[in-house]
Amino acid sequence: MISWPDIDCILLDMDGTLLDKHFDDYFWEELVPQKFAAKNDLPMDEAKKRLFAAYKAQERTLNWTDVDYWSGQLNLDIVAMKEEICDLVKVSPGAECFLQFLQRQGKTIVLVTNAHPKTMQIKLRRTPLIPYFTAMISSSEIGAPKEAIEFWREAEQRLKFDKGRTLFIDDNEAVLYTADRFGIKLLFHKNGDGGCKSHAGQKRFPSFSDFNDLYP
């Protein structure tokens, strides 16, 4: 259980946390390969092989979520393609009720995401979540991904949060490890299947799949 009187600020990831991952999984694993294969006259399996290698090479960098970078690299209009399937954007079950609880408690609620601002705009306008946030920060705005300690140093400067009275929730363990090294006191892993992998010598974070488990 979380001792809510001891928490002032809640930092929340977007994709895979407040929003489910179906949109992104379908977009990058199916739609982009389809368009890339058609444009380059490739079999689907070859298109996926090339694309997944390109994705892997940009993990944990700003390029990973930079729609302008991928538009240039793939010669595809990534923003327009995301707009085409924006109806697939869905809020994770229980997420809005959790935000309502935090708001009633008078907490500072901040969206911290690696998503590109253009992607944020497409997704958030399809949800009722924007009014709950005190602030929203993207890694593109800061100039470093959440996997880098520099992101957290700059976020702390901008938001003026107390690391000892802050809760951060993310579905990406690499991000949680960095936030842990930075010194954020309370860290939770959002996992669709309710589990959390632990790696040798690394911390295992409390994991949940339903936001209703986090508050009374």
Which pLDDT value is given to residue 197?
45
User: Do the beta carbons of residue 46 and residue 37 sit within 8 Å?
Assistant: yes
Q: In the chain, where does the domain assigned CATH 3.40.50.1000 lie? A: 4-20+90-214
- Average pLDDT over all residues of the chain: 93
Residue 198 has pLDDT above 90, yes or no: no
pTM: 0.92
Q: pLDDT band at residue 216, thresholds of 50, 70 and 90? A: confident
What residues does 12 pair with on adjacent strands?
111, 169
* Distance (Å, whole) CA 144 – CA 138: 9
How far, rounded to the nearest angstrom, does the alpha carbon of residue 100 sit from its chain's CA centroid? 20
- Which pLDDT band holds residue 202 (cuts at 50, 70, 90)? low
Query: Does 41 participate in catalysis according to the annotation?
Result: no
Amino acid, single-letter form, for residue 109: I
Extract the tokens encoding 29.
């694993």
pLDDT tens readout for residues 58-69: 998 999 999 999
The superfamily in CATH containing domain 4-20+90-214 is: HAD superfamily/HAD-like (3.40.50.1000)
Tokens, residue 107: 């907490």
Cα angle: 13, vertex 167, 183; to 5 degrees: 100
Half-sphere exposure of 50 (CA within 13 A, CB side): 13
Cα(167)–Cα(10) distance, integer angstroms: 5
